[in-house]
Amino acid sequence: MPNNDVELGAAQVIHGHLTEQNGTEFLIIASQNKTIIARTIAIQDIESYTLRDRGRQKRDARVGMLPPKARASHYQSGE
């Protein structure tokens, strides 16, 4: 998958089928004294965020204009 960035975005991983059985995304994290090699097994559900953000019939004045991810973390933290 062509990419000029250091990392892949969620959409690239999903649409490249990299979390499916025949797909693989490896992450290599190197420091001065060790190297960690990890494999992506799950990714955030960007389709869900899109539906929450764009699929509304009208703006919810109680929630305001926070992006969906910020709202989700705000409610999960109990604030």
User: What torsion do the CA atoms of 51, 54, 57, 59 make, to the nearest 10 degrees?
Assistant: 120
pLDDT(73) > 60: no
Which is more confidently placed, 46 or 58? 46
> Residues 23-47: pLDDT tens digits?
888 889 899 999 999 988 888 888 8
Taking the C-alpha atoms of residue 68 and residue 56, their distance in angstroms, rounded to an integer, is 12
User: Which pLDDT band holds residue 11 (cuts at 50, 70, 90)?
Assistant: confident
Question: How high is the pLDDT of residue 38?
Answer: 92
Residue 56 contacts residue 71 (beta carbons within 8 Å): no
| Strands annotated E in the chain | 26-30, 35-39
Full-model pTM: 0.52
The domain locations on the chain are: 1-55
3 three-state secondary structure? coil
